[in-house]
A and B are shown apart, each in its own frame.
Chain A
Amino acid sequence: MSPFEVLVEVESVIAMQARDKGLAFNINHHFPLPERIESDPVRLKQILLNLCANAIKFTHKGGVYVDVAADRAQRALKLTVRDTGIGMTGEEMQRLFKPFSQTDVSTTRRFGGTGLGLWISQQLAHKLGGSITCRSEKDQGSEFEVTVELGDLRAEWVEEYRAAAKSGRVSSAAPALSGSVLLAEDSPDVQGLIGMYIRRTGAELTIVDNGKQAVERALQRDYDLVLMDMQMPEMDGLAATRMLRRVGYGRPIVALTANALRQDRERCIDAGADDYLSKPVNLSRFYQILAAFVPARTAKTPVQTSPAEDLGQDPEYLQLVRRFLDGLPAQLEEIARAAETRDWAQLQSAVHKLKGMGGGFGFPELSASAAVLNDELRKQVYDHVGDRVAELTRLIRAACAGTASPRAATA
């Protein structure tokens, strides 16, 4: 079985629970890790889901972090589930792995549950040739370490994040990078958001506003990656990419486009882009692309995760969301005016902009609604413009009034 696949499945379930509760959730891969291990994926997943769900249940601020490492000497895979939750006393810990024993009756009342989960998990871990141990401190958080047998060690080993990311085996946690990225993007909102995504990796970031500057900067210095928005003033991303390629710029360029149609993507590739990302960006794919092109940080120790790395609590992110919201009334006005005067080109441009941003700032329904209208306008279907604009108006008002709170963008 592939330990990566198990972790991706666990992440897909737990990341959402964490997000709903406003907690950070991160899986930290400590490479090298075996490509496959001789174990039971169903049981391993059950153990991890149980430990992570528990961790989330008993954590009210901060986050839950999973560390994965292989110990070749002990022929064991070690998975540590760490939280910043309420923690336990020594006495409480002693009762932990006994059936039907939650730490006390009040716990059952407050948090529910049967008290069977940890006992079952421990039995499962034994079946996988390992065990679960726990460390905890009252009010500081808990740490559960699961070990399972690796089995045959001759399996292939994945040496670094880059290799794992290229094949989609790891997802939305920010990879630790050490290279340089040039971001060419005209919208200050998107600059802020994507810029923040990039800074979280530790990569060095340069931001420019248009294609002309992108060409000039890229030629002055070979960046590890140029992220090129396709629609920019002065010189658009397609023209800038073409020009760079014509004068022999050989480093990777990835196109950013709010148009997800296949022909749009093909145009990016034809112009010389190596790959493309659609806006609003899917964070896990974004990090996959970044890790595929930008060198990994070489330090043996991985970056320490902290609650601030959770987007939803990151002050920088919250400030960006605020700024995005502050700009919404003006955007709405622009949309309403264009619709009223039947200036379809203007309307599409405004709607297109909104589509590319909403999701990134935690308002996916805004992006989705804008996408519907955008598609209709492309097809020159104007029958529902009134309804669509009314819907957008409603969503924008809800967002600004705070009745729809942002959900931090993740995978």
Chain B
Amino acid sequence: MNGVNPRPITALIADDVLASRELLRQMLGKLGVVVVAQVADGHQALARLATHAVDVVFLDIDMPGCNGLEVLKQMQSRQPMPWVVMVSAHSTMDNLQVAIDHGAKGFVVKPYAMAKIQQAIERFQQAAQ
């Protein structure tokens, strides 16, 4: 975010609500993160990730069909696993525990705030170094 990265960080957003995806994309854009794909459900997310690798995945939990935690579980068996940040309007302990157990690296609770997104990206950068 200081413009020192030779290659920008890439991200995928999986969220069924368009407004929510757009807001997150704008915030990430301000941080210099390039959102290479936006999808509206879990199946699309898995399909997309099978063909295109990204650095960070923002994965909404409460999606119809295949929810974010299911996606996370299926992603776990794929290598290399991207850096996954779970996103939810709720911060219930059960969801948190499942997320951690299946390798999520972050958990952001909506409503989005720039500080939360920035923290999530900074953690990825620190880990990537």
Residue positions of A touching B, CB distance < 8 A: 212, 215-217, 219-220, 222, 235, 243, 246-250
Whether B113 pairs with A222 at a CB distance below 8 angstroms is yes
Whether A248 pairs with B92 at a CB distance below 8 angstroms is no
**Contact pick for B105, options A222, A235, A243, A248, CB 8 Å:** A248
Whether A212 pairs with B93 at a CB distance below 8 angstroms is yes
Specify the chain A residue showing the minimal Cβ separation from B104: A247
Contacts of A247 in B (CB 8 A): 86, 96, 99-100, 104-107
Specify the chain A residue showing the minimal Cβ separation from B92: A216
Known A-B contacts A243-B100, A247-B96, A248-B85; the reply to A220 vs B91 at CB < 8 A is yes
Beyond contacts A248-B119, A248-B120, A248-B123: 6 other A-B pairs, Cβ-Cβ < 8 A, are: A216-B92, A216-B93, A222-B113, A235-B93, A246-B100, A247-B104
Specify the chain B residue showing the minimal Cβ separation from A248: B106
Contacts of A216 in B (CB 8 A): 91-93, 96
Chain B's nearest CB lies how many Å from the CB of A271?
14
Chain A's nearest CB lies how many Å from the CB of B91?
4
Binary interface profile of B, 80-110, with partner A (CB < 8 Å = 1, else 0)?
A: 0000011000011100100110001111110
Contacts of A220 in B (CB 8 A): 91, 109
Tell me the complex Cα distance, A212–B92, Å. Answer: 9
Most B Cβ at <10 Å: residue of A219, A222, A246, A247: A247
Question: 4 tightest A-B contacts by CB?
Answer: A247-B107, A248-B106, A219-B91, A250-B119
Contacts of A243 in B (CB 8 A): 96, 100
**Contact pick for A222, options B96, B116, B122, CB 8 Å:** B116
17 residue pairs from A and B, CB less than 8 Å apart: A212-B93, A215-B93, A216-B91, A217-B91, A219-B91, A219-B96, A220-B109, A243-B96, A243-B100, A247-B100, A247-B104, A248-B85, A248-B105, A248-B106, A248-B107, A249-B119, A250-B123
Q: Is the interface of A mostly helix, strand, loop or mixed?
A: helix
Whether A215 pairs with B119 at a CB distance below 8 angstroms is no
Tell me the complex Cα distance, A217–B96, Å. Answer: 13
Residue positions of B touching A, CB distance < 8 A: 85-86, 91-93, 96, 99-100, 104-109, 113, 115-116, 119-120, 122-123
Chain A's nearest CB lies how many Å from the CB of B5?
20
Contacts of A249 in B (CB 8 A): 119
**Contact pick for B107, options A217, A219, A222, A250, CB 8 Å:** A219
Specify the chain B residue showing the minimal Cβ separation from A219: B91
Whether B93 pairs with A222 at a CB distance below 8 angstroms is no
Tell me the complex Cα distance, A249–B107, Å. Answer: 8
Specify the chain A residue showing the minimal Cβ separation from B118: A250
Chain B's nearest CB lies how many Å from the CB of A293?
15
Tell me the complex Cα distance, A235–B100, Å. Answer: 16
Contacts of A219 in B (CB 8 A): 91, 96, 107-109
**Contact pick for B91, options A215, A246, A250, CB 8 Å:** A215
Contacts of B123 in A (CB 8 A): 248, 250
Specify the chain B residue showing the minimal Cβ separation from A213: B93
Chain A's nearest CB lies how many Å from the CB of B47?
26
Contacts of A250 in B (CB 8 A): 119, 122-123
Tell me the complex Cα distance, A222–B115, Å. Answer: 9
Chain A's nearest CB lies how many Å from the CB of B126?
10
Specify the chain A residue showing the minimal Cβ separation from B116: A222
Chain B's nearest CB lies how many Å from the CB of A153?
37
Contacts of B108 in A (CB 8 A): 219, 248
Tell me the complex Cα distance, A330–B108, Å. Answer: 43
Contacts of B105 in A (CB 8 A): 247-248
Contacts of B96 in A (CB 8 A): 215-216, 219, 243, 247
Contacts of B104 in A (CB 8 A): 247
Contacts of B93 in A (CB 8 A): 212, 215-216, 235
Tell me the complex Cα distance, A177–B27, Å. Answer: 29
Chain B's nearest CB lies how many Å from the CB of A250?
4
Contacts of A215 in B (CB 8 A): 91, 93, 96
Contacts of B106 in A (CB 8 A): 247-248
Tell me the complex Cα distance, A248–B109, Å. Answer: 11
Chain B's nearest CB lies how many Å from the CB of A286?
26
